[in-house]
Chain A
Amino acid sequence: MRYIFKTAYDQDIRLAKHGGHVFWYGVLMLVLVAAPWLFPEYWLAQLTFVLIYSVVGLGLMLLSGFTGLFSLGHAAFLGVGAYTQAALTHHGVPAPIALIAAGLFSAAAGVIVGLPALRVKGIYLAIATLAFGFIVEEVFARWERVTGGNAGIHLSAPDVFGFKLDNDVSFYFACLVVTVLATLAILNLLRSPTGRAFVAIRDSEVSAQSMGIHLARYKTLSFAISAALAGVGGALYAHKLQFISPDQFNILQSVDLVLMIVVGGIGSVHGAFLGAIFLITMPQVIALGKDVLPAAIGQAPGLQGLVYGLVLIAFVLFEPQGLYGRWLKLRTYLQIFPFYRRGMFQRQKSYLKSDRLK
């Protein structure tokens, strides 16, 4: 059981709280940097997707997990980023510049979506984002001059000021850099006043206001940042697939993103990564399972949807804190063995009391 003896405020502020953090994350970074030489090509491609979805997941986690604003249309921002990247690179803009532009355009879209958020809460906001998602998907399909409509458009490999990232390894490193930067940015935000303001808004808007937090400004900011990250992820996604079409950014994709953060563990940065890993590996696991299951079940077309649904239900019922929550419990069990008690992470059962003012 590790006990941290604190002698300076800096220890609470810095990201690596103790030697163990430094060691394990260092090992992780080494593995990630060496990945192209450790993993076969197929798994490297999957890892690239995990990184891309992690970036998007970080944004959605900030919005839903830390600010408490639930978005059921986040795939729209993914799409805005992807199409912006496609349009700009077609006109010869270097990929990094286009990437920044994709982030900015998505942030602008986020601000626009955030505007109704200022006046509505909870389910109303979720429906508003759902509506926005559908509308944006339709815009992608109709605005053929820019997006190529339902036929979709192709992208070439990203061009970093003349240096073409046309193989898997170089593109993987680009994604790794972006992911690391995004993670550090989010972690920095969370340990400073802005991040705390987000958490305050999630937990109690009334007292956040009385502490001087401008609700409208911070909610809009949260939307903007999360949309920007989704846009950057979308741009990378576009380059990875080298082809995008409107139906890749539909309600199912939005639900996948939300599923990702719920399964990963709402309210934790780790959750975004664990959720991304889950999202990318689940189809692989199902594919493996297909060989084991009897043909009637294994080869049936609806299997993936069924499994996703069951996993989602299982997590909400049995592990509401997600994969990260399960990891925390496991780690605590190992750390304080044999003193772990079953009810340690038990949530207080609360009775429904209507927030509606009659």
Chain B
Amino acid sequence: MTDLLLSATDLSVRFGGVLAVNQVSFDVKRGEVFTLIGPNGAGKTTVFNLISRLYTPTTGAIMFEGRNLAEHAPHDIARLGIARTFQNIELFEHASVLQNLLIGRHTHRQTGLWSELFFTRPTRAAEIAAREKVEQVIDLLDLQHHRESLVAGLPYGVRKVVELARALCTEPKLLLLDEPSSGLNVEETDDMAFWISDIRHELGITVLMVEHDMALVSKVSDRVLAMNQGEVLAMGTPGEVQRHPGVVEAYLGSTDDVASLRRTVLA
């Protein structure tokens, strides 16, 4: 059993004239938290969409547990063990939180159409089993109060947690989190950091995430990949990447400006 869970090699995707992702290569080791950072438009979510097979790469390949993802349809990805959250929450608005989470159990379905039409005893047992699994996730993420609420009426912070919960219900090997802390306040972001840590240590799930909040990135990530304009800038530990001059320039402007800023502040 290989140490490498996901590896992207020379990944590129072109939309019309725009090269959104250009020769990006990285590996995600089993059990680690790997973060993609970069300014807006760097192509991070595009990489996620490539892994989820919503886009097809123009060149390059993504291997997951030795399988080439390009050979699989988008609905197969969950079955392989990859779950994701979306940047602009894609929940099922007119269903309750509980139903959203139960839909997350879809890949573990054991019943066929006919046994469902007649709601046979195995179907009932499968429903209860699914509910028990979902309740474990609800316990982990403290969603008990919101079980029966329709998603459409929930505040933004709670929805983000429901997205995470739904992804966890698929029992993934790899969890893709797209900006988990965007729109969350300090307290909610702290909770999120704890959960990501729990997911990694207690549930043994590998996490690949896109994030802008550097504090969160430093707190939970093992390795970081910095991207800019579709290309890889730097890869390494959070500290290494944050000190990389190219990364600093992409985020803050040229190193000269940062140096002068530091001089002004420290003076």
Contacts and interface: CB of A to CB of B under 8 A. Distances in A.
Direct contact of A and B (CB under 8 A): yes
A103 to B, nearest CB: 13
B192 to A, nearest CB: 20
A209 B74 contact: yes
A200 B92 contact: yes
Interface in A162-200: 185, 188-189, 191-197, 199-200
B113 A194 contact: yes
Prevailing SS type, chain B contact patch: helix
A214 interface: yes
Given A194-B113, A200-B95, 5 more contacts: A13-B124, A203-B91, A211-B103, A212-B79, A348-B152
Interface in A211-228: 211-215, 221
Given A197-B103, A211-B104, A189 B117 contact: yes
A214 B123 CA distance: 20
B142 interface: no
Given A193-B116, A212-B79, A214-B75, A206 B127 contact: no
A326 interface: no
A267 interface: yes
A179 B237 CA distance: 64
Interface string B198-217: 00000000000000000000
Contacts of A207: 86, 90-92
Interface of A: 9-10, 12-13, 185, 188-189, 191-197, 199-200, 202-204, 206-215, 221, 267, 348
B123 A206 contact: no
B152 A188 contact: no
A9 B86 CA distance: 30
Given A188-B119, A192-B111, A203-B94, A9 B103 contact: no
A193 B92 contact: no
A339 to B, nearest CB: 18
Interface string B121-137: 00110011011100000
B106 interface: yes
B107 A211 contact: yes
A215 B75 CA distance: 8
B24 interface: no
A9 B75 contact: no
Contacts of B109: 193
A213 B79 CA distance: 10
A204 B113 CA distance: 22
Contacts of B111: 192-193
B13 interface: no
A87 B103 CA distance: 42
Interface of B: 52, 54, 73-79, 83-84, 86, 90-95, 98-99, 102-107, 109, 111, 113, 116-119, 123-124, 127-128, 130-132, 152, 166, 170
B70 to A, nearest CB: 16
B75 A206 contact: no
A199 B99 contact: yes
B65 to A, nearest CB: 16
A87 B86 CA distance: 52
A108 B54 CA distance: 30
Contact of B132 (A9, A209, A213): A9
Contacts of A189: 116-117
The 9 closest A-B pairs by CB, nearest first: A212-B78, A203-B92, A212-B107, A207-B90, A192-B116, A188-B119, A209-B74, A193-B109, A9-B131
B106 A212 contact: yes
B102 A196 contact: yes
B117 to A, nearest CB: 5
Given A9-B132, A206-B54, A211-B107, A191 B127 contact: yes
Nearest to A214: B75
Contacts of B92: 199-200, 202-204, 207-208
Given A210-B78, A211-B103, A212-B106, A204 B91 contact: yes
A210 B77 contact: yes
A9 B90 contact: no
Most A CB within 10 A of own CB, among B99, B116, B152: B116
Nearest to A192: B116
Contacts of A194: 113, 116
Contacts of B123: 188, 192
A203 B103 CA distance: 12
Contact of B83 (A9, A202, A210): A210
A213 B104 CA distance: 10
A189 B152 CA distance: 23
Given A13-B128, A212-B78, A199 B90 contact: no
